[in-house]
A and B are shown apart, each in its own frame.
Chain A
């Protein structure tokens, strides 16, 4: 293997000499148990609160909303286009002209 020359890295590595191991405190197990119980309690609802589910539900709602709006618009358009028989009669016999008599 080719010998590499990294004097600065070696010098800075020396600063780790005599390093003590970091440790957690004595209540670590208590906190761990509490977290496990919390996770267990949230298991039923937890997945529904994940961002992917929340965003997915929102997108579904928006799509449904859009669909309803377009349907409503279409119904409105078709009722506007339809004319009643009375209106047809009035147009055919030119009964829409106002008369002073």
Chain B
């Protein structure tokens, strides 16, 4: 089935076509979202929301980009929404602790990516923690390119930025991470 046929079938509400799409992209979307959110439950939830939105808004998909780029764009936007909501909740929690007593503070706990080699776990967790402190755009660009291993061309399409802008975001992220990690390195000594 080519992409055009798949889009047609999705527009007709064809369930096997939707299932095929989910089975094909679920792990790629989940992996991207997990790297951004650094929380497996939120990543699963966001992956589900991404496919629900794909199903609901496939009729408004203008086909100006590849279907995969469109799906990734939705996933990244949803992950960003989650991060913003998380930050708002953290601020609220700071001022009104009784408001959300059972809220988990996932960002304060180190994130251990399930695919990292055991010997690298500690360093990777420190790196993920440092990434969280980056400004939004730098965080996304750095995660997609350096963590996810995406090429600049694809990342630019997803982030809807030109190559120079993305390159600049990645280098600024690297400088900021260097500062963060220097602080972490000093605490280890």
Interface residues of A (CB under 8 A from B): 1, 4, 6-9, 11-24, 28-29, 31-32, 35-36, 39
Contact = CB atoms under 8 A, between A and B. Distances in A.
Interface stretch (B72-80, B84-92, B111-119, B152-160): B111-119
A98 B124 CA distance: 98
A16 B177 contact: no
B42 interface: no
19 contacts: A1-B167, A8-B177, A8-B185, A9-B177, A11-B123, A15-B124, A16-B116, A16-B146, A19-B117, A20-B116, A21-B27, A22-B31, A22-B34, A28-B26, A28-B47, A28-B48, A31-B48, A35-B48, A36-B55
B31 A21 contact: yes
B51 A32 contact: yes
Interface of B: 19, 22-23, 26-28, 30-31, 34, 40, 43-44, 47-48, 51-52, 55, 113-117, 120, 123-124, 126-127, 130, 146-147, 167, 171, 174-175, 177-178, 181-182, 185
**Interface of A: prevailing SS:** helix
Q: Which of A17, A19, A28, A29 has the most CB of B within 10 A?
A: A19
Given A6-B175, A21-B27, A12 B126 contact: yes
